Amino acid sequence: MARPPVMQAEEKVRIVLSVLAGEVTVAEAARRAKVSEQSVGNWKRQFLEAGKTGLAAGKSGPSTREAQLEAEVADLTQALGEAAVELRVWKKSAEGRLGPSRTSR
């Protein structure tokens, strides 16, 4: 049996919200979307867990993604600093061999 095409997140949210609002049952939502009841149940669980995580985190600190990006920025800033120092060393080395460049003062 072939897998159904991947459903867009917006459609999953619409289905989950209609189930949570009591507009349809999980079985009815699954039948309409042509997916298994287990799939709808999984989407509902994932949706609720993500919301729970958001409420638990609140404004107490950066999200995991924000922390990853901040670490990446720190690494890139350090690499840029090291490259700038290396470039200065290369320029000084070249000046010693070739004399002062036209752009140096």
96 vs 61, higher pLDDT: 96
Q: If you average pLDDT over residues 57-80, what whole number do you get?
A: 84
Q: At what angle do helices 37-57 and 26-33 cross, to 10 degrees?
A: 110
- Each residue of 1-11: pLDDT tens digit? 566 668 898 99
- Domain co-membership, 13 together with 52: yes
- Domain co-membership, 73 together with 47: no
Question: What's the pLDDT score for residue 92?
Answer: 87
Does residue 39 belong to any structural domain of this protein? yes
Does residue 105 belong to any structural domain of this protein? no
83 vs 60, higher pLDDT: 83
DSSP 26-53: HHHHHHHHTS-HHHHHHHHHHHHHHHHH
Does residue 45 belong to any structural domain of this protein? yes
Q: If you average pLDDT over residues 68-92, what whole number do you get?
A: 93
User: 31 is in which domain, residue-wise?
Assistant: 9-57
Question: What's the pLDDT score for residue 102?
Answer: 64
- Domain co-membership, 16 together with 44: yes
